[in-house]
Amino acid sequence: MVLKASAVVVAGLVMTAAAGCDGGGKNGTPTTGSLPQHRPGSPAASTPSVRYTAEQLERALIKPPADATNVKTESGVADTVLSRLGESGPSAAAGTPAPGCMARGPAGRWAVGRTPVAFLSFGRGETFSTVLLSASSDAQTRRFLTQALPKTCRSVRTNVGGTSTTATIVADDPYAIGEGGRVRETDETTGGVRLRVWEVDFVGAGYLASCQVGGLNATRAEAERLARQTYGKAGATLR
């Protein structure tokens, strides 16, 4: 099956975002593999003074593989970029999250308003990949990005144009990358087609990143590889 990358990407971003929490609920506590807590005032715990532009973030995006298809790149302020990607349409408001959870898009639960962002998506075989970089780096969103989602916020259902989509986060683990991150597995069913989406969210030096790989047989290893590539390229570019 050849995936229609643009439609699947938007669905994946919306569903992952809708499963987020606005901080009103209690976060789960990871039992293994937890990242060490930074001491107040340490370099990693402080908020960077640098605020990158959308153009800088776009230059920090990785180059898609040579055999990639349906390559799409966008940059600008979050609201404008997400509107071009279809996030401000009906699908953006179609989620019905549990109380205490939010339904803001996209995968950048933290990328809203005038925040500079850069976005890349591409297909490869029967999988799609997305990378979203955001200049947002305030302490609250950085904490949110590295905390486990409450269990009550891990499932959401939408109905857009008569097509129902259900997404459930089935794994949410700490992941040691940059200044802290999470790796999440989401089972997503749209119109009877079941996809697996792996996402690595992490905090970089003055930026936040979300890396997704999805498809019928997407793997955690693919998402981790994409995140490592993104971290390496951003670290070498954003100086």
Token pair in block for residue 208: 């936040």
Residue 188 belongs to a domain: yes
Confidence of residue 102 (pLDDT cuts 50, 70, 90): low
| Residues 219, 202: Cα–Cα separation, whole Å | 18
> In the predicted model, is pLDDT for residue 39 greater than 80?
no
Residue 40 belongs to a domain: no
Residues 6+ apart with CB under 8 A from 137: 47, 48, 51, 203, 206, 207, 208
pTM of the complete model beyond 0.85: no
Residue 32 belongs to a domain: no
Counted domains in the chain: 1
Residue 176 belongs to a domain: yes
Quick count: other Cβ atoms within 10 Å of Cβ 46? 11
- pLDDT tens, position by position, 115-125: 899 999 999 99
- pLDDT tens, position by position, 114-150: 889 999 999 999 999 999 999 976 777 777 788 888 8
Question: Tell me, what's the pLDDT at 50?
Answer: 55
Bridge-partner residues for 72, per DSSP?
121
3-state secondary structure of 236: helix
- The answer to whether 168 and 193 have CB atoms below 8 angstroms apart is no
Report the CATH number that the domain containing residue 189 is assigned in CATH.
Answer: 3.40.1000
Residues spanned by the domain of 219:
5-22+47-237
The order of strands in the sheet holding 127-134 is: 69-77, 116-124, 127-134, 208-215, 193-203, 181-190, 163-175, 155-160
DSSP string, 61-99: SPPPPTT-EEEEEEEEEHHHHHHHTTTTSGGGG---PPT
3-state secondary structure of 8: helix
- pLDDT tens, position by position, 48-90: 445 899 999 999 999 999 999 999 999 999 888 877 776 543 3
Residue 42 belongs to a domain: no
Of 34, 38, 19, residue with least CA distance to 175: 34
